[in-house]
Amino acid sequence: MKSILAVAMLFIVLHPATAQPSKLEALAKNSRVIVTGRVVDIESRWDSKRKSIFTYITIDVTEVLKGRVDSKLLVIEQRGGRFEGRSVWTIGSPVFKIGEEVLLHLNPNAEGVLRTAYLGQGKISLSHSDETLLAHISPKQYIESLKAVLKNIEDSSPIDYKTRPEGFVAGQGEHLDEFNLSGARFFEPDEDRQVNFSVNSDRAPVPGGGIAQVNAAMAAWNAAGSRLKLNNAGSTRACGSVEDRISTVSFGDCLKEIDDPVDGLGTLSIVTLVIDDKQKRIFNGQTFERILEADIVYANGLDDLLGRSNNLEELMARNLGLAFGLNFSSTNEEEPDPLLRQSIMYFKPFFDGRGAKLNTDDLNAVNRLYPLFTRLSIPEIRLATPVLGVQYNQGLQAAGGFPEYTFAITSGTLPQGLELTRQGLITGTPQAVETQTFTVTVTDSALLTASRSFTLAVTTLPPLIFSVTPSRLCNNQTTKLTVNGTGFRGVNSVSVSSGSITSFRIIDNNTLEVNVKGPGRPGSTADLTVTNPGGSNTLRSSILYAGPFIQNATIGKVQVRNDKGNLVNKRGITVSGIGIGFDQTLIIAGKPATDLKINRFSNEDYVFYGTLSGLVPEKGDFDIELVEPKLNNCLSNTFRIKRKK
């Protein structure tokens, strides 16, 4: 089916016993006002009373051929337009462009405001040839022929129309450069949902309220093999082209939207679409906006013609085709291609008893507009577990729809350090141990979407401890150590087998700072254990609690070796205990004895000797302590030396 803009469904209603006027004669006679002019403004507005969008086209009138226009600027009103992201369009409406020269056949609507007669048939572009209406003659020739016809038509109709809507002020609506329709279709079939139409049987021209004809027309399209499935959703009281999110079929033109047929000239029906401009999908290279609602209205006064079941069924099939987004196969009255000319979507009805019979062109058209495809999805997969500090790569897949695919996070977040590429690869290096839930949405080349939620819990490899510095700690103080290894970024626990951990701090993935408090006695060792979500690692006997502990001490003369190695008598203090060594300083009665020399008698006995005067009290007992400067000034216990009385 050719991609063409649908023109008005204007047909000569045939009465064999009556001579029919030409199209030009019928339009001239049945138009209340005929003017030429230039389009200078187009703007759309929402009418809350009539629940629809209307567009106002301002014409700078150059010539009035029929009727009376009391202003150089004429404002006409057409149903439809674009306003705040939504469109309303009656198929067959005239197309207007700013700056276009036009000839207009006009009639008043129910409010008395002028609109084009018989939809698009009432507008002729003088800027380019409109072959459908002009039958291959030039605009100049058409105007000359029209004026000749008008000379023989007596215009005695009353002036009960408005040349501008009451209270109209330009600039209060949404300005358009062009009043036109973009491609549109329903999106429900893409999600395996039916497209519902409700039927108002009031004033139906056939017995049964037109239900059988609606069902037959729907069945014809449903059997076409496409993804589209139409459904009769039951009866409704709604009628006419009203934006209420309910697609309806109604009879008798309850809102007087259609010019009544006169002298064989008439519009059989109209189809009005409500469209969401912001939702778009692409099929076969064409962008379509979403049809939210489609209303089909049949004209008043056509019971003789549409009272025949096959005629109504045929027209119903054509109207449903327009309602779900098809265009006419051809608008050429002399269409040479028999496939297009015999299509149910040919712009002129056949009324030859065929009913809702589709041909190959119709089947191809609906299958192009609603192609069969596997529904787009993101298959469920088990994501690999990300590991802290380790490069992560996990690909997501899409199935169905129309490649190419584009992936994006539409809610939630990925763990820190990870990102999702447009091609569906989760990549990066996790920066924290955390759990995140997020939603991925894939969009295909048709702008179809599918989503799936995932959860990623970042873990770590078990830590490894390489070294502890310093490994020799004061037995009764808190000491800060540095632990080197790997897998430390997610560490949640550090412990020792003896003593206690007062605090720890993660410097980086390879370094910890740990504050360890000793157990109170030197000479014992402790294991250090580091734990993260991936497991634990222990470095055995990595800590030695050291420092002096005095068990006994005396003061008196002792024999020590001098610098020559000879034994000499010296006055000194003999100390025995645990962890006593040459790197320590004796504190006597609170004063450091830094000048004393140290000699060892046995494994546990050390003698501090030298000048004791001024350090040791002359009388009475006194306290001593040992301090090891190289071990963070590790201080021993206090021991009292008792003198003999």
- CATH for 225: 3.40.390.10
- Residue 66 three-state SS: strand
**Is the same domain home to 176 and 188?**
no
Structural contact between residues 398 and 366, judged by C-beta atoms closer than 8 angstroms: no
Whether residue 331 sits in one domain with residue 294: yes
Q: How many whole angstroms from its chain centre is CA 86?
A: 19
228 and 124, same structural domain? no
CATH of residue 137: 2.40.50
Residue 301 has a pLDDT of: 82
Per-residue model confidence as pLDDT tens digits over 560-570 = 877 787 888 88
Report yes or no on 573 lying in a domain: yes
Shared domain check, 153 and 80 = yes
Examine residue 16 and state whether it is found in any structural domain, yes or no.
no
The answer to whether 264 touches 23, Cβ cutoff 8 Å, is no
Q: Are residues 329 and 193 in the same domain?
A: yes
* Long-range pairs of 129-136 with CB within 8 A, sequence gap ≥ 24: 132/7, 132/331, 132/332, 132/333, 133/23, 135/23, 135/333
121 touches 134 (CB < 8 A): no
Alpha-carbon distance of 241 to 462, in angstroms, equals: 69
Residue 10 lies inside a defined structural domain of this protein: no
pLDDT < 70 positions in the chain: 1-22, 128-136, 156, 263-265, 603, 645
Beta-strand relationship, 248-250 and 286-298: parallel
Side chain identity at residue 208, one-letter code: G
pTM of the model: 0.73
**Residues spanned by the domain of 102:** 31-181
The predicted pLDDT at position 14 comes to: 37
Instruction: Tell me the chain's radius of gyration from C-alpha atoms.
Output: 48
Decide if 20 is inside a domain: no
**Cα separation, 599 vs 568, whole angstroms:** 12
Is 26 within a domain? no
User: What pLDDT was estimated at residue 645?
Assistant: 64
Do 190 and 171 lie in one domain? The reply is no
Q: Are residues 527 and 565 both part of a single domain?
A: no
Residue 44 falls within a domain, yes or no? Answer: yes
Judge if 152 and 116 occupy the same domain: yes
pLDDT (0 to 100) of residue 389: 84
Q: How far is CA 412 from CA 44, 118, 407, in A?
A: 39, 54, 14
Regarding whether 411 and 360 lie in a shared domain, the answer is: no
452 lies in some domain: no
Quick check: 521 and 490 in contact, CB under 8 A?
Answer: no
Q: CB neighbours (10 Å) of residue 594?
A: 9
Query: Both 190 and 270 in a single domain?
Result: yes
Q: What are the two backbone dihedrals, phi and then psi, of residue 304, each rounded to the nearest 5 degrees?
A: -60, -40
d(CA 529, CA 341): 87
DSSP codes joined into one string, 476-542: TSEEEEEEEEE--TT--EEEESSSEEEEEEEEETTEEEEEEE--SSTT-EEEEEEEETTEEEEEEEE
CATH number at residue 484: 2.60.40.10
Beta strands in 8-132 (DSSP E): 10-12, 33-47, 52-66, 73-83, 86-90, 96-97, 101-108, 114-116, 123-125
The angle subtended at Cα 215 by Cα 212 and Cα 219, nearest 5°, is 135
Please say whether the beta carbons of 456 and 435 come within 8 A. Answer: yes
Domain match, 504 and 588 both: no
pLDDT of the residue at 302: 84
Same domain for 282 and 187 = yes
Question: How high is the pLDDT of residue 333?
Answer: 84
**CA distance linking residue 605 with residue 258, whole number of Å:** 121
Of 181, 211, 244, which closes a domain?
181
CA distance 451 to 441: 4
Predicted local confidence at residue 2, as pLDDT: 33
Residue whose tokens read 């999908």: 281
The domain total for the chain is 5
